[in-house]
């Protein structure tokens, strides 16, 4: 899940889309791109690297239009490169029909995608056989050809997307434009978020509300399976059963600033209440109904994970405790041996690394000095691969690890880790489940464990509903000077983390 911003307007939208991509940078990405409906048809620019690099490219080769789509990519299928950057386009083939598209210059259909298409191999074979030429290694490209194919069979863009998404397995948010229908943008979502912004004589689509706050405060949140068509004047949504639906209007009352305290007396409380949302975001686009989606840890990760014979987790403080929890689960659920170690000690050892050992490091900030030093030490020590679980996309640890899973908890200001810790546990659980599946975990138990993950945000909300009872219980402890936390099994590290939090916050 990275970022999508799209617009159908009466004014040039290039700058607005690029500014939108900037606000989505916090999600992490490796390339950026844009396609605009220009006077001569659809034109695209895309590049590996930062949004800044895309801006520089656009300064050299300007394109402008009143509708278009923009994207930041976090590669899952195909390396980060210009060629694999979105928007994906389908060129002329399949569109030279009665809709007159053959007379339009440039690309015929352009599409941006966040998520993972699981059945891309099968679709690619089918579309290649029908004559479509593939130019990238991404899973996403099958969708643009599928939409083009369906348009060549006489469907308009909306119907083509509606029919195409029925063929897709996996998780996606997409935005699609066609040279044949200037001014129209079609979107769809399943497993990855998408919102619709309502402007004055203009409409927008985006992965979340932040990129659109400068242009509107009025939104609809799309639901699972929804397909939407926007132009500057109108919008139309159908649900997964093709029924026309309206989604409730929400007025955003938040500031563009992510770290406002709002109604909460302090950040820690705010962050405690953000856990259900943070956990939902950590899971978004990463699990299907019954399985963890392929390559969520990065390009080629699944092949590597298949080879893993043991796991070595190295971290500090709260992240170390999360690692200790994961050890119980890795051994119990996945049957994979695991050791967990504090980074400040590990970095001074000369580790003897058994073959096919995966090094996993966990850090909220991605800058923890001992953890970063441990990662560098590990990279010189002959591990099969290094994987970082981290919350800050631009951090050193993310840049230096071979593979990364972002926790997407958002900024954490409070001293005691709350949502960063819970999302680390969730990210580690995804690793445990994936290793379990690749190492022959019973399929029924596996599917059930994935199914349970879907309930986590709700369960966290139920726990938070007990707030008043916790406040009453706290009265029993308020004048105590010593505390002892007890736990067994995976609750032993949870007890250690509880003790750490109490010490950090109360100095008891």
The residues binding ligand GLU (CB under 6 A) are 1-2, 73-78, 84, 113-116, 138-140
From start to end of 27-158, where are the E strands?
A: 31-38, 41-48, 67-73, 88-90, 109-117
Report CA Rg, the chain.
24
**Length of the chain (residues):** 508
Burial class (CB in 10 A: 0-12, 13-18, 19+), 477: exposed
114/407 with CB nearer ligand GLU: 114
Instruction: Please name which of 121, 36, 47 lies closest in space to residue 83, comparing C-alpha atoms.
Output: 47
1/340 with CB nearer ligand GLU: 1
Q: Least distance from C-beta 173 to ligand GLU, angstroms? A: 8
Instruction: Please name which of 234, 154, 144, 146 lies closest in space to residue 196, comparing C-alpha atoms.
Output: 234
160/299 with CB nearer ligand GLU: 299
Q: Least distance from C-beta 76 to ligand GLU, angstroms? A: 4
Q: Least distance from C-beta 213 to ligand GLU, angstroms? A: 22
77/501 with CB nearer ligand GLU: 77
77/132 with CB nearer ligand GLU: 77
Q: Is the dihedral of CA 177, 179, 183, 184 positive or negative?
A: negative
Q: Least distance from C-beta 8 to ligand GLU, angstroms? A: 22
Q: Least distance from C-beta 297 to ligand GLU, angstroms? A: 13
Q: Least distance from C-beta 171 to ligand GLU, angstroms? A: 9
The rounded distance, in Å, linking the Cα atoms of 474 and 414 is 20
Q: Least distance from C-beta 193 to ligand GLU, angstroms? A: 12
76/381 with CB nearer ligand GLU: 76
DSSP code of residue 164: H
85/314 with CB nearer ligand GLU: 85
Instruction: Please name which of 97, 110, 94 lies closest in space to residue 185, comparing C-alpha atoms.
Output: 110
84/395 with CB nearer ligand GLU: 84
78/182 with CB nearer ligand GLU: 78
The rounded distance, in Å, linking the Cα atoms of 117 and 164 is 12
Q: Least distance from C-beta 4 to ligand GLU, angstroms? A: 9
Burial class (CB in 10 A: 0-12, 13-18, 19+), 485: middle
Reduced to 3 states (helix: H, G, I; strand: E, B; else coil), residue 470 is: helix
The rounded distance, in Å, linking the Cα atoms of 361 and 229 is 43
Q: What are phi and psi of 406, to 5 degrees?
A: -80, 140
Q: Least distance from C-beta 137 to ligand GLU, angstroms? A: 8
From start to end of 182-233, where are the E strands?
A: 185-190, 195-198, 203-206, 218-221, 227-230
CB 408 within 8 A of CB 393: no
């Amino acid at each position: 899940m990275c970022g999508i911003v799209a617009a159908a307007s009466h004014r040039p939208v290039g700058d607005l889309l690029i500014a939108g991509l900037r606000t989505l940078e916090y999600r992490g990405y490796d390339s950026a791109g844009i396609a605009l409906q220009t006077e001569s048809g659809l034109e695209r620019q895309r590049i590996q690297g930062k949004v800044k690099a895309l801006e520089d490219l656009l300064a050299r080769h300007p394109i402008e239009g009143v509708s278009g789509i923009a994207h930041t990519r976090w590669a899952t299928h195909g390396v980060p490169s210009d060629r694999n950057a979105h928007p994906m386009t389908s060129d002329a083939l399949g569109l030279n029909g009665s809709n007159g598209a053959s007379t339009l210059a440039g690309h015929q259909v352009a599409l941006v995608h966040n998520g993972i298409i699981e059945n891309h191999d099968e679709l690619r074979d089918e579309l290649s056989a029908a004559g479509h030429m593939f130019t990238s290694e991404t899973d996403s490209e099958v969708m643009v050809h599928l939409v083009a194919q369906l348009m060549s069979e006489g469907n308009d863009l909306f119907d083509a997307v509606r029919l195409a998404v029925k063929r897709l397995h996996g998780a996606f948010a997409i935005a699609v434009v066609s040279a044949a229908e200037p001014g129209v943008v079609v979107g769809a979502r399943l497993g990855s978020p998408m919102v619709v912004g309502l402007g004055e004589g203009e409409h927008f689509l985006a992965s979340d509300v932040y990129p659109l706050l400068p242009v509107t405060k009025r939104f609809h949140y799309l639901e699972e399976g929804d397909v939407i068509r926007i132009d500057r004047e109108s919008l139309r949504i159908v649900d997964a059963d093709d029924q026309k639906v309206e989604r409730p209007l929400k007025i955003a009352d938040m500031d563009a600033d992510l770290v406002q305290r709002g109604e909460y007396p302090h950040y820690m409380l705010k962050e405690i209440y953000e856990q259900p949302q943070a956990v939902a975001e950590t899971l978004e686009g990463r699990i299907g109904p019954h399985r963890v989606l392929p390559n969520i840890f990065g390009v080629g990760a699944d092949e590597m994970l298949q080879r893993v014979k043991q796991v070595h987790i190295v971290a500090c403080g709260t992240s170390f405790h999360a690692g200790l929890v994961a050890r119980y689960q890795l051994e119990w659920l996945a049957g994979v041996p695991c050791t967990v170690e504090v980074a400040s000690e590990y970095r001074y050892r000369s580790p003897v690394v058994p073959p096919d050992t995966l090094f996993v490091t966990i850090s909220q900030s991605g800058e923890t000095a001992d953890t970063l030093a441990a990662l560098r030490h590990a990279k010189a020590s002959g591990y099969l691969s290094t994987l970082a679980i981290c919350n800050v996309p631009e951090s050193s640890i993310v840049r230096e690890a071979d593979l990364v899973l972002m926790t997407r908890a958002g900024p954490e200001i409070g001293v005691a880790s709350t949502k960063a810790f819970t999302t680390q546990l969730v990210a580690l659980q995804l690793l445990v489940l994936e290793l379990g599946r690749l190492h022959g975990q019973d399929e029924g138990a596996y599917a059930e464990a994935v199914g349970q993950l879907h309930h986590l945000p709700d369960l966290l909300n139920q726990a938070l509903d007990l707030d008043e009872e916790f406040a009453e219980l706290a009265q029993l402890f308020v004048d105590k000077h010593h505390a002892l936390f007890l736990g067994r099994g995976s609750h032993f590290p949870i007890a250690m983390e509880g003790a750490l939090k109490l010490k950090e916050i109360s100095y008891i």
